């Protein structure tokens, strides 16, 4: 075997060896880091909060799922919201039922993040919450986030300007609501 074919063999078999040896499970240090980052969601705001969520998704992925699901029950709403965000971006099917439970969370932003995450799984039970968020009077950001989620799932059905005048926004929401009422049976199990 020449050197080049040995490199190819190693590059093909090493990932299989790593998975077979259980290295896809987080190490104790990784568990500590996952817990640390989840707990940091309580104090992070803005871009730092998003960066913490993204680091959990990108660095730990599916190995973080059990920790994120457990933390969906945290007392801090920022932690629950961050966990819902991460679970939606990781896309592990074990997250669907715990996210469904968060649709009834006492915090509106946790509900909306759970609804957005569920749409990534093609689970549309949270669409009524997203429609409600389109009507959010105080926050253009909330309206924009809800619109982005709905537009990704139903691009043919919604046109909405989160910064538009209230009457124009309401007319757009009513059009989408009428579309949703006529088509939701195609999307809900």
pLDDT tops 60 at residue 113: yes
Confidence (pLDDT) at 24: 62
pLDDT bucket at 183, cuts 50 / 70 / 90: very high
pLDDT tops 90 at residue 11: no
pLDDT tops 60 at residue 21: no
Phi then psi for 103, rounded to 5 degrees?
Answer: -60, -20
Residue 29 tokens, joined: 């240090």
| Segment among 30-34, 39-43, 85-89, 155-159 with least mean pLDDT | 155-159
Confidence (pLDDT) at 13: 30
pLDDT bucket at 26, cuts 50 / 70 / 90: confident
Percent of the chain with pLDDT over 90: 67
Q: What is the mean pLDDT of the chain?
A: 85
pLDDT tops 60 at residue 6: no
pLDDT bucket at 29, cuts 50 / 70 / 90: very high
Confidence (pLDDT) at 94: 95
Cα distance between residue 66 and residue 46, in whole Å: 25
Confidence (pLDDT) at 131: 95
Confidence (pLDDT) at 156: 82
Confidence (pLDDT) at 8: 36
pTM of the model: 0.80
Helices 46-55 and 28-40: crossing angle in degrees, nearest 10, is 160
CB neighbourhood size of 10 (10 A): 10
């Amino acid at each position: 075997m020449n050197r080049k074919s040995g490199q190819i063999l190693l590059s093909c078999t090493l990932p299989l060896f790593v998975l077979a040896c259980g290295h896809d499970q987080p190490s104790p240090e990784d568990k500590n880091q996952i817990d640390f980052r989840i707990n940091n969601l309580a104090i992070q705001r803005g871009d730092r909060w998003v960066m913490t969520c993204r680091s959990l998704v990108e660095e730990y992925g599916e190995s973080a799922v059990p920790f994120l699901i457990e933390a969906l029950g945290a007392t801090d709403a920022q932690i629950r919201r961050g966990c819902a965000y991460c679970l939606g971006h990781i896309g592990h099917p074990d997250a669907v039922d715990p996210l469904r439970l968060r649709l009834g969370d006492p915090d509106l932003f946790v509900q909306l993040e759970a609804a957005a995450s569920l749409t990534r799984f093609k689970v549309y039970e949270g669409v009524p919450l997203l429609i409600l968020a389109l009507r959010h009077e105080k926050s253009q950001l909330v309206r924009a986030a809800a619109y982005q989620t709905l537009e990704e799932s139903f691009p043919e059905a919604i046109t909405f300007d989160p910064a538009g005048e209230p009457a124009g926004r309401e007319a757009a929401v009513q059009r989408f609501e009428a579309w949703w009422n006529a088509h939701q049976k195609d999307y809900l199990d």
